[in-house]
Structure 1
Amino acid sequence: MEREKRTLRLAAPRGFCAGVDRAIQIVERTLEKYGAPVYVRHEIVHNRFVVESLEQKGAVFVDELADIPKGYPVIFSAHGVAKSVPAEAENRQMFYIDATCPLVSKVHREAERHERDNHEIILIGHRGHPEVIGTMGQLAEGEITLIETAEEARNFRQKQPGKNLAYLTQTTLSVDETRDIVDILRERFPGIEAPKKEDICYATTNRQAAVKILADRCDGLLVIGAPNSSNSMRLVEVAEKAGCPNVALVQRASDIPWDCLKSAKTVGITAGASAPETLVEEVVAAFSERYDVTVEEIVTNEEQVVFKMPKILASEAAE
């Protein structure tokens, strides 16, 4: 019996960004250099497959520094941490390596600069996200005001009217939604200072742009990523707003909603910045088991960004 045909369109770029790739390499190289176990505070990146793979190599993921026995290396996640975290590690005489994405560190430095310049600071981001907690924790409590929605931007009131305002953003936000919030702030406060270089990272921007194009060429779309991954959830939202029917977030091939995709002849596939390519291959293989599949890659951008390893691991990276 002849199998039904399906066309799979893969977004490019998709999957790992340079910051995620660097963070994973930091854990792997720390294990190589110091041996297991190596402790990691929080998930190194928001992907269970990645976390479980590193656990099998000897990484141990913990919630707090107090959960780590003395004498073992500790790594801070790619999302960044409040200043209180390395301070606590030093008080506990811990050896730590910071895997914060350099583009997140850039936002941290911007916050410090604005404080030095006596600016009142707004951070556009999602409450409770580790990156937001880390960025707000660069300064004393209350120094940064978090704005999550356009409504909050409309209702924002300065703590010190007349003081110069500046805004920062989380690196993994929806480009379009953030633009709407920024437009409101600029209309209300024409002198507000923007980041010198866009805070939303290149990988987030590129993956959202690719999904917009893919959504227009597919009648179903899968985003491979974790529900606690901000950039993956934004890809789902972007695809839905672009008008693509049958959009779903899946962590693995076992999560594919086959019933919802029954009528979809052309299915788009992308992956969040913390999802490895092996999960994309797994999803393609699952389709190939059910259908006669044609795979096309829709390339919208070429990424060649690479971040340096921390100095203490640089020699291993060179080898």
Structure 2
Amino acid sequence: MSVAAEKPSLTVRLCEPRGFCAGVDRAIQIVVLALKKYGAPVYVRHEIVHNKYVVEGLRSMGAVFVRELTDIPDDGQPVVFSAHGVPKSVPAEAERREMLYLDATCPLVSKVHKQAMRHVRLGRQVLLVGHRGHPEVVGTMGQLPEGSVVLIETEEDVAAFEPAGEQALGFVTQTTLSVDDTAGILSALQAKFPELQAPSSESICYATTNRQDAVKASAPGTDLFLIVGAPNSSNSKRLVEVAERAGSMMGLLVQGQHELPWDSIPPNGTIGMSAGASAPEILTDEILDALRARFDVRIELVQTAIENENFPVMRSLRDTPLTAADMAFVNGEPA
């Protein structure tokens, strides 16, 4: 009688916190609640969050994703603005067309908008540290008068930038940047412009910082570090970079278990694992199940923070009931 070969062992350092943040949870909940209250279709301008699983799930419920308001007919159905924020021109156009709109902008992104507008009110030119073309950057720049904001992406941009005249300077940052990269850029800015004014509070959000801290604590000595997330997710891509800088042999962004690099997962090795702020927990669970099918998996939980933030939805949706299956989807968990 043959005896099945034992599975090789694999240690998985699983980061906590990981996955959905309060802003993503709120944005998804707004779309689900809007579908419950108003029925399909509910239009969503751009991806509500950067994750294909979430977008396809909402599409199956009746959400219709559009690039611009011009793609939406005048049928009286609501439109939701994504968690990344939108330029002021977007709600202005919705109001002109008498559209019902629901703004799912993350409150922490809205806070950056307010910080940038405060700089302008105080007569400062705004330096926005972020990635060109990212929806959040487009939305933040779109809060400000033309010519009042300059995008800074790198330390080379700092060296090249020369302010016009004697105008005071203030800065804000995209919420999903690498904490370490941003520190270098801000150090260069402050060295060049000692009078540069900081925002009233930190712009990089708590979820970005917490996920990067957990990856830093987990990465040293790992053979591979898996980050569950989408290719267009800024915070997920930053986690890959953080893992490699913190000592992992290789960081890799995967959208699900179908992208697992089996040849790079060594028997009896150690890998790390986290998930970007827009990646649902069900994708992490599926990857762990796929690993358990091939390895004798031992989980090491690496927890560096406890998150209990909750951002409520707008009042107009709070009385709309959700089923247990709805809540499971909103929370990124199996139904």
Query: TM-score normalised by the shorter chain: which range applies?
Result: over 0.9
1:74 equivalent in alignment to 2:79: yes
Relative to 1, partners in 2 of residues 1:154 and 1:13: Cα closer, same or farther, differing over 3 Å?
Answer: same
Q: Which amino acid aligns with 1:18?
A: A
Q: Tell me how far 1:296 sits from its aligned partner.
A: 2.2
Relative to 1, partners in 2 of residues 1:150 and 1:249: Cα closer, same or farther, differing over 3 Å?
Answer: same
* 1:78-132, Cα deviation, whole Å (9 max, x unpaired): 0000000001111111100000000000011111111111101100000000000
User: What does residue range 74-223 of structure 1 map to in structure 2 within 5 Å?
Assistant: 74-160=79-165, 162-223=166-227
Alignment partner of 1:275 out of 273, 279, 284: 279
User: What does residue range 52-71 of structure 1 map to in structure 2 within 5 Å?
Assistant: 52-70=56-74, 71=76
Q: Which amino acid aligns with 1:158?
A: P
The alignment's TM-score, normalised by the length of structure 2, stands at: 0.93
Tell me whether 120-129 or 214-223 shows the greater mean CA deviation.
Answer: 214-223
Aligned partners of 1:61, 1:297: CA distance in 2, in Å? 37
Aligned partners of 1:245, 1:199: CA distance in 2, in Å? 30
Tell me whether 63-72 or 14-23 shows the greater mean CA deviation.
Answer: 63-72
Aligned partners of 2:322, 2:316: CA distance in 1, in Å? 12
Relative to 1, partners in 2 of residues 1:24 and 1:318: Cα closer, same or farther, differing over 3 Å?
Answer: closer
Q: Which amino acid aligns with 1:172?
A: T
Task: Return structure 1 stretches of 4+ with deviation > 4 angstroms.
Answer: none
Alignment partner of 2:248 out of 244, 249, 258: 244
Q: Which amino acid aligns with 2:185?
A: I
Aligned partners of 1:60, 1:205: CA distance in 2, in Å? 32
Q: Tell me, what secondary structure is at the counterpart of 1:193?
A: coil
Aligned partners of 1:25, 1:318: CA distance in 2, in Å? 9
Q: Which amino acid aligns with 2:32?
A: E
Q: Which amino acid aligns with 1:260?
A: S
Aligned partners of 2:225, 2:114: CA distance in 1, in Å? 37
Q: Tell me how far 1:140 sits from its aligned partner.
A: 2.2
Does the CA-based 8 Å contact 1:122-1:166 persist in structure 2? Answer: yes
Does the CA-based 8 Å contact 1:219-1:264 persist in structure 2? Answer: no
Relative to 1, partners in 2 of residues 1:22 and 1:15: Cα closer, same or farther, differing over 3 Å?
Answer: same
Does the CA-based 8 Å contact 1:40-1:61 persist in structure 2? Answer: yes
Q: Tell me how far 1:141 sits from its aligned partner.
A: 2.3
Q: Tell me how far 1:6 sits from its aligned partner.
A: 0.6
Q: Tell me how far 1:316 sits from its aligned partner.
A: 2.8
Percent identity, aligned pairs only, is 57
Q: Which amino acid aligns with 1:309?
A: V
Relative to 1, partners in 2 of residues 1:56 and 1:117: Cα closer, same or farther, differing over 3 Å?
Answer: same
The equivalent of 1:28 in structure 2 is 32
Q: Tell me how far 1:263 sits from its aligned partner.
A: 5.5
Aligned partners of 2:318, 2:147: CA distance in 1, in Å? 37
The equivalent of 2:291 in structure 1 is 287
Q: Tell me how far 1:178 sits from its aligned partner.
A: 0.3
Relative to 1, partners in 2 of residues 1:243 and 1:264: Cα closer, same or farther, differing over 3 Å?
Answer: farther
Aligned partners of 2:195, 2:243: CA distance in 1, in Å? 34
Relative to 1, partners in 2 of residues 1:95 and 1:268: Cα closer, same or farther, differing over 3 Å?
Answer: same
Structure 2 gap segments, 5+ residues each: 324-335
Q: Tell me, what secondary structure is at the counterpart of 1:259?
A: helix
Q: Tell me how far 1:142 sits from its aligned partner.
A: 2.0
Aligned partners of 2:305, 2:65: CA distance in 1, in Å? 34
Aligned partners of 1:102, 1:318: CA distance in 2, in Å? 22
Q: Tell me how far 1:318 sits from its aligned partner.
A: 10
* 1:166-209, Cα deviation, whole Å (9 max, x unpaired): 00000000000000000011111111111111000000000001
The equivalent of 2:45 in structure 1 is 41
1:258 equivalent in alignment to 2:262: yes
Q: What RMSD over aligned residues (CA atoms) do the two structures have, in Å?
A: 1.3
Aligned partners of 2:86, 2:164: CA distance in 1, in Å? 26
Does the CA-based 8 Å contact 1:11-1:269 persist in structure 2? Answer: yes
Q: Which amino acid aligns with 1:142?
A: G
Aligned partners of 2:98, 2:70: CA distance in 1, in Å? 12
Does the CA-based 8 Å contact 1:224-1:232 persist in structure 2? Answer: yes
Q: Tell me, what secondary structure is at the counterpart of 1:254?
A: helix
